[in-house]
Each structure stands twice: as structure tokens, then as C-alpha cells.
Amino acid sequence: MKKPNKLIDTTLIVTTLVCLIPLIFSAIVYTQLPDQIPIHFNISGEPDNYASKAFGAFGMPLLLALLNIVVQLVLKTDPKRDTASKLYKISRWTIPVLTLFISPLTLLLALGEPIRVEKVVPLMISILFLVIGNYLPKIKQNYTVGIKLPWTLASETNWKKTHRLAGWIWIICSLIFIVTIFFNFYIAWVFFGGLVIMVGVPLIYSFVLGRKEEAESTAAKETTENQ
């Protein structure tokens, strides 16, 4: 059983403060921003959704800080949390790091900086996937971090085998994404196709493995009853 721990710890406080750092940049460039700021882009890097400059400059970092607090509390209240896991620690720092990247990038784009958002954002995500894939096989069974399916949560063996396979798939797909981005080769198609593989293959594998384990368990039970 996990020892009771404080919900409000140093990591929660520090990560939340990190999420608020972009507010400094927002205050500096606020008067230079247009009234409408692009907050979403299509696969070609063209803006297709806008928000007020007040929301883009201050609302977005504040919302991400709030989201960070929620994620931190969910992770810390997981009864099966593995605080020694590298992926657990990475999960606690993912939103703060992304906030430092996303918020200033959004404002720079609004200011007219020639940033290839259709390449920069996928590259950032690909690197994140690569890091996660490296640690997926090492994470222990829990309710918040990892591939949480009925079959992986019901069987530790299923969890280990599914995460071992998923780790390799995520690493390979991430490397393909990075190469594709640098060579500008059908980025959107490769990216979304890879995401289907990264999600679909581990899910199907876990399901098939779960059915096999269930069949073996039923057969063993029947054999015991017949003896």
C-alpha cells in the first residue's frame, strides 16, 4: 500500500509557476498584438481559429496552469502510482514544458514571425512520443500513466507485454515522423497514419492477448474441476 502523501507538493507548485512564466512575455508584447490571435492551424500551417488577444496572451497560460494542477492531483492520487518511474516524472512535467513552448509560439505567430508551425509542432510532438516510447516498457501497472485498457489493467502480464510492444512501435513511428518532417515528405499523412498504428496495434494486441489468457484460464479451471 502506498504511503499517504501531501497533495500539494514541491513539484506541483514549481510546475504551476513554470506554466505562468509565459505571462511575462505576454505582458511585454501585449500592446503589439493584433486584436485577434490565431490559436489553431490546419495541416498546411494556416490559421483556422482565432481568439481575443487577452485570451491568447493571458488566458491560455492560465488555463494550462489550471490543467497542470488537475493532472498533478490525478497522478498523485493514483493508488497504484509508481513515483520512481521516469515516465511518471515526465508526465508531471509535460504540461509545463509544453506551455513554455506553445504560449510564446502562439504570440510570435500573431506578431508575424515566419515560423513553420506545420513542421515545428509535429516535431515537438514527435520528440515527446520518442521519449515516452523509450520509457513505456519500464512503467509498472497503474491507473493514470500508460496504456490503460481493460485487459492491461486486469493482467500484469498483459500490461508488460503490451507496453513492451507499444514502446518499440512508438519509438519507430517517432523516428519516422522526425525524418518525414525534415524531408517534408507527406507530413500530415505519415503523422496521422502513424498515430493510428501507435494506438491501434497495442490495443488489438492487448485484446487478443487478453482473450488468449482468458481461454487458458478457463481451460485450466475446467481441467482442475474434472480431476
Which whole-number Å values give the CA distances from 81 to 9, 78, 104, in the listed order? 15, 5, 33
3, pLDDT greater than 60: no
- pLDDT category at 1 given cuts 50, 70, 90 is very low
* Residue 206 exposed, middle or buried by CB count within 10 Å (0-12, 13-18, 19+): buried
User: 155 and 194 share a domain?
Assistant: yes
User: 6 and 102 share a domain?
Assistant: yes
97, pLDDT greater than 70: yes
206, pLDDT greater than 90: yes
Task: Read off the pLDDT of residues 56-80 as tens digits, 9 standing for 90 and up.
Answer: 999 999 999 999 999 999 999 988 8
- pLDDT category at 25 given cuts 50, 70, 90 is very high
Q: According to the model, what pLDDT value does residue 118 have?
A: 84
Q: Which residues contact 151 (CB under 8 A, 6 or more apart)?
A: 158, 162, 206, 207, 209, 210, 213
Q: According to the model, what pLDDT value does residue 23 have?
A: 96
95, pLDDT greater than 50: yes
Q: According to the model, what pLDDT value does residue 55 have?
A: 94
Percent pLDDT > 90 in the chain is 67
Per the structure, the complete domain to which residue 22 belongs is given by 1-114
Identify whether 226 is part of a domain: no
137 vs 194: CA distance, rounded Å: 19
Global confidence as pTM: 0.83
User: 2 and 67 share a domain?
Assistant: yes
Q: According to the model, what pLDDT value does residue 2 have?
A: 47
Grid coordinates 509498472 are at which residue?
140
User: 149 and 100 share a domain?
Assistant: no
54 vs 57: CA distance, rounded Å: 5
**Across residues 15-28, what is the average pLDDT?**
96
Q: Please count the structural domains in the chain.
A: 2
Domain ends where: 95, 114, 133? 114
26, pLDDT greater than 60: yes
Identify whether 227 is part of a domain: no
Pick the more confident residue, 170 or 5: 170
Task: Read off the pLDDT of residues 140-182 as tens digits, 9 standing for 90 and up.
Answer: 999 989 999 999 999 999 999 999 999 999 999 999 999 999 8
pLDDT averaged over every residue in the chain? 90
Q: According to the model, what pLDDT value does residue 189 have?
A: 87
User: 157 and 84 share a domain?
Assistant: no
User: 14 and 74 share a domain?
Assistant: yes
